[in-house]
Amino acid sequence: MHASAPRRPLWLRFLSGPDIEELGITSGEVIDAVEGVVAAHGRGETVFEPRVHLVPDNGGAGHFNVLRGHVSSLGDHGVSGVKVVGDFHPNYRLGLPSELALLTLYDPATGVPQAVIDATFVTEARTGAMTAVGARHLARPGSRVLGHAGARGTAFSNVTMLDSLFDLDEIRVTSKRPESREEFARRLAEHTDTPVRVTDSVAEAFDGADILVEATRLTEPAPLLHPGLVKSGAFVVPYGTVSAVSHDLLDTVDKVVVDDWREARSGRFGALRHHVDTGRLSADTLHAELGDILTGRRPGREDERERILLWHRGLSILDVAVGHLVLERARSADAGTLLRYR
């Protein structure tokens, strides 16, 4: 009989929200991580599965998204990860974020867990970074006015990261609740010198804007974003869970880009769910996935007059990439708590 090898202890690193805040990760670092993994996806260096949903019997209070992905280009032999994130819109009444998440990272060669991470920051930052990366490649470089609908957690990263990339003259913000949009504007004003204007309606925020970001928290579909608000040359990013996009918006859009076409077709939620389900958006009418544009396989903006729409649903590989960034920084700083796994 062969003697079995002595069992060595296995440890994983737990990183709480406060642990991550102390790491000092910058917006620029997150944008670079997201841009890198989107390009890797375009080169086929990822293993990606569309999200699945768990909808509890909770009276419609919210649901969970389960995201799974692997990025071969990270670390010595890649990193795999699974994130579970809740989407609970009434959480503001309890003083909680609407999106709370946990990310687990794994060694793909052995299956050994590497980390358990509070992924609330990861979710917010990677979403804003995806908006920014899309804008970097698809918006007009001379864009001056940003209109943003929605004031949830990801909204701050959307606005501040776009503000870091463009020489904006004005940021317009709105949301359903007056107190929410006013507080959002106050928070933004503490982080940017760009004038921030609060509007009473989505139409006022979007009308004539160069970059339009729709991140509303609707409970029922409503056509808040429609062709009359999208001027020539605009870049449009709708990604609310429940659609705020009119059925005819794509009739006036020159190019539709998605983060991943399989993801766009999956699930029961999403800004363009109706457009996919009815065939208004199909493999034939889709211009490209963003990774194809970053790798040069498909053109991005070719004309200043083009109206371009990016629909990104939040890819698991973004969570893996930003989570890996967080974990590597934490290892260098010896941050977090080591937990005995077995």
Query: Tens digit of pLDDT for each residue in 269-282?
Result: 788 889 989 999 99
Span 12-18, average pLDDT: 97
User: Quick one: pLDDT at residue 23?
Assistant: 97
Residue 5 has pLDDT above 70, yes or no: no
Share of the chain above pLDDT 70, in %: 98
Assign domain 11-122+317-340 to its CATH superfamily: ornithine cyclodeaminase, domain 1 (3.30.1780.10)
C-alpha–C-alpha distance, residues 40 and 295, integer Å: 9
- Between 316 and 77, the more confident residue is 316
Q: Rounded to 10 degrees, what is the CA torsion of 30, 64, 287, 282?
A: 170
Residue 313 has pLDDT above 70, yes or no: yes
Residue 45 has pLDDT above 60, yes or no: yes
C-alpha–C-alpha distance, residues 37 and 40, integer Å: 5
- Band of pLDDT at residue 2, cut at 50, 70 and 90: low
C-alpha–C-alpha distance, residues 200 and 178, integer Å: 8
User: Quick one: pLDDT at residue 152?
Assistant: 79
Chain segment 243-261, per-residue pLDDT in tens: 888 999 999 999 999 999 9
Q: Say whether domain 127-314 belongs to CATH 3.40.50.720.
A: yes
Q: Structure tokens of 106?
A: 């794994």
Domain ranges of the chain: 11-122+317-340, 127-314
Q: Please check whether residue 169 is in contact with residue 145, taking contact to mean a CB–CB distance below 8 angstroms.
A: yes
User: Quick one: pLDDT at residue 240?
Assistant: 77
CATH topology agreement for domains 11-122+317-340 and 127-314: no
